[in-house]
Amino acid sequence: MTSRRHFLQKITASGLALPFLPSLKAEAEHLHTFNGEPYQGPVLRVAIMGLGSYGTRVAEAMRDCKMAKLTGVISGTPSKVKDWQSKYGIPEKNCYNYENFDNIKNNPDIDAVYVITPNGLHKDQVIRVAKAGKHAICEKPMAINAAEGQEMVDACKKANVKLLVGYRMHFEPKTLEIIRMRKAGEFGKVLFFQGLSGFTIGDPRQWRLNKKLAGGGAMMDIGIYSINGARYMVGEEPVWVTAQETKTNPEKFKEGVDETIQFQLGFPSGAVASCLSTYTMNNLDRFFLNGEKGFAEMQPSTGYGPIKGRTHAGELTHPHVTHQTVQMDEMAGIILQGKQPVVPVDGEEGLKDLKIIDAIFLAVKSGKKVDLKL
């Protein structure tokens, strides 16, 4: 039987180009329940593309959403589609595969598609979603390099649809509290950030260790958290990067698939960041921010939760919320109501992280400091 990876590679190469059709708006009023209370208002109707473990996590979290509802699925595995139909009450007319999902253009039950597939497939799939006139939510990293990311941004602008990226931490309460404190000057002048992101990866045959599908290794999967975290914790855009790679297992981590990269970022104010991205060490999920007047520490900092944090003022005690539930409700607000999040989650935000990743890989290869213009 052809593996899912080979199937995805095969069908992605044959994406269909369709003329742009205007996006269908969500229902003006839709009755939905949230924590037992009726919610009457606009609801974003979402199809999930890619029914793997994270797609399942998002689907489960959306059961508690008030402004977003799972209404469709896109998958290359018919058995998964049947399971999801039964579990989430999805009608047959809202089920698609990777070859025919362009037909969502004719389906008023779907307003947006959440693309949760291997990184190397994001560009073509998001562009097809945009051409079908639907809003696109894309899991991070948005693409495998900045050039692809720019194509996605341009395609969504041309189609007049939103492109959002799955930055769930941008809505996490403890994270937002630290950002509030930093903006209020409670840390004083920010001097230093440290981001540690890593775990020991298993099966060497998985797509995350396939250069074509992943676009790299640990940096594309876990290191991006430290890149993005450095930006929203410091509150500036970096202007230079240096980086060094360590590879202890070239059989598992082949050419173009990074195992461990240490990288440093410099910011206009003089603040610096020192970060680690790895696929060979566990217990690495920590952010630390230091300023002239105080500090903030988060550990775990980006896991599914509960996030734990403290500052010079004491422990952060905000209750844990399911990240994906909040993310999808907030993204519905962005799409349906034009809400502006504290930290952006749009395609331009995703593009900035991709530019930094490109620069990190260049710094590793050249051994030199690479200037950034974001």
**Catalytic annotation, residues:** 140, 225
Peptide bond just before 141 cis, omega within 30 deg: yes
Phi, psi torsion values for 71, nearest 5 degrees: -125, -10
CB 260 within 8 A of CB 245: yes
Instruction: Determine whether 30 is exposed, middle or buried from the number of CB atoms within 10 Å of its CB (0-12, 13-18, 19+).
Output: middle
Report whether 160 contacts 48 (CB < 8 A).
no
- Residue 46 and residue 327 in contact, taking contact as beta carbons nearer than 8 Å: no
CA-CA distance, 307 to 285, in Å (whole number)? Answer: 10
CA separation for the pair 288, 80 (Å, rounded): 41
By DSSP bridging, strand 309-311 and strand 314-315 are: antiparallel
Half-sphere exposure of 222 (CA within 13 A, CB side): 32
| Bridge partners, residue 192, by sequence | 272, 290
Q: Is 283 left (phi over 0), alpha (psi -120 to 50) or beta?
A: left
How buried is residue 203: exposed, middle or buried, by Cβ count under 10 Å (0-12/13-18/19+)?
A: exposed
Half-sphere exposure of 108 (CA within 13 A, CB side): 4
d(CA 165, CA 174): 20
Buried b (16+ CB within 10 A) or exposed e, 151-163: ebbebbeebebbb
Task: Give 319's DSSP letter.
Answer: P
Strands 190-198 and 272-278: parallel
